[in-house]
Amino acid sequence: MKRNYIFLFYLWFSTSFVFSQGNDCEQIISSLNEKERKTAQLNLHDPDYIPLHYLIAQDLIKELEKFKKEVISNYTECATLSFSELINRYDNLRNSVQHKHNLLEELNKKVYLIFYEQALYEYQFKNETDGDYFLQRSLQYNALFPDAILLKLNRLLGVNHFREALSLLNTLYYDTQMDNEQEKKAIVFTDKFYDKLYKAGDSLLKAEHAAEALELFEILEIFCQNLPTAYCNDDYYHGVLSSQSGIYDSYIAIAKVAEKRGNSKVAAQFYHYAQEYLAKYPHLKTYEPKQQEVSDERYAVSGMRYEVSGERYEVGGEDEPSFLPNNLSSSSIEDLKTIKNKYDSMVLQAFALCIKEDFSASYKIFLDAKKLEECRCFTPDFRVDIMLNELSKFELK
């Protein structure tokens, strides 16, 4: 009885072992097939995939090492896969993965350069959107690549994003390692940046847009204090002072106009603004800005044109613009910033018209600015309500 029991146990164990080996063979073949499939799909050409596929190749090498240790060293042949076939498949797979891994490792080190060259290619054929995408990807993989930074700087300067350009320019000079050719390009860009920024600020001053001019000259002041350039001299500082003086003068001018019209409340308010501004910048007491001739044509009430954030509008025409978007709730953050920029520019324009005593045109622009406040997407300028209230007392046509 005991012998029969031992025999039956041995028969059961042997049968189970054979079936187990059969199942193992199927799993081994399936595992090899899957690894071969993954290896074949490793991409050596598209820079968007190179970093990810480099990591996949690393994982495949680890998996194959584990496979060798746990499977091959304990393998018992089965009908579907001989030991020599297993070894051949493993060796071919291991060599293929290692070869692609080595290539991907080198490509991954230079993926930023691949993206940069692709950006240049797209810009060459005027594909601006694709060029911007590839340039951004290049900087994501190497934020200190001088050539990509220089290309980005020229893109930013082209659309007048001066603050962002200044920040990136600091990165270029203080965080990167430039060769001689890159240093030459940096000097050329630095001079071009100063020249464009100064001319833009000077033009705004001549057009009596002191607040916008001050913003540009303050950027220029930071630029000149922190970066090497042969262009910087006292001109930019005079631009800062002239802009500040222009803002102070606008407060005084509006106060005098209101005083002349008998609006003592508004006059007192703007004299108060002027005093606060002078307390903030006391050096303006002794500053005498250069006299500049300014044409009054742009202040004509009938058909007057003005520009806000690069868009032109006309007051008094039949086709006046609608400033509010149709579906504000779904507007992006950039849309909201654009609305706020339009609002601020319109308020400044309206005040400028008050100085010129073009109250009808000023009132119209203040009304349009008031409409923008309906989006409730920014903090309104309290002076808009004051000016609308006071201007409404005039007999405006």
| pTM of the complete model | 0.53
Task: Please report which helix (H) or strand (E) contains residue 83, including its range.
Answer: helix 83-109
Q: At what angle do helices 359-372 and 333-355 cross, to 10 degrees?
A: 160
Helix (H, G, I), strand (E, B) or coil at 40: helix
Domain boundary among 61, 80, 109: 109
Question: DSSP of 94-120, one letter per residue?
Answer: HHHHHHHHHHHHHHHHTHHHHHHHHHH
Domain boundary among 109, 142, 168: 109
Helix (H, G, I), strand (E, B) or coil at 357: coil
Give the tens place of pLDDT for each residue, 39-66: 999 988 888 888 888 889 899 999 999 9
- DSSP character for 322? P
The verdict on residue 136 lying in a domain is: no
Question: DSSP of 211-265, one letter per residue?
Answer: HHHHHHHHHHHHHHHHS--SS-SHHHHHHHHHHHHHHHHHHHHHHHHHHHTT-HH
Give the total number of structural domains in the chain: 2
Q: What are phi and psi of 176, to 5 degrees?
A: -105, 165
Q: For residues 379 and 301, which has the higher predicted lDDT (pLDDT)?
A: 379
Among 231-245, 303-317, 339-353, name the one with the lowest average pLDDT.
Answer: 303-317
The verdict on residue 306 lying in a domain is: yes
Contact 377, 339 (CB under 8 A): yes
The verdict on residue 153 lying in a domain is: no
Query: What is the residue range of 312's domain?
Result: 296-397
The verdict on residue 150 lying in a domain is: no
**Cβ contacts of 159-165, under 8 Å, gap ≥ 24:** 160/200, 162/193, 162/197, 162/216, 162/219, 163/219, 165/193
The verdict on residue 84 lying in a domain is: yes
Amino acid identity at 116:
Y
Q: How confident is the model at residue 181 (pLDDT cuts 50, 70, 90)?
A: very high
Portion of the chain with pLDDT greater than 90, in percent:
26
**Rg of the Cα atoms in the chain:** 36
Q: Say how far apart CA 141 and CA 108 lie, in whole Å.
A: 9
- pLDDT at residue number 176: 93
The verdict on residue 119 lying in a domain is: no
Largest CA distance in the chain: 127
The verdict on residue 326 lying in a domain is: yes
The verdict on residue 224 lying in a domain is: no
Domain boundary among 109, 126, 154: 109
Tokens of 311: 């868009």
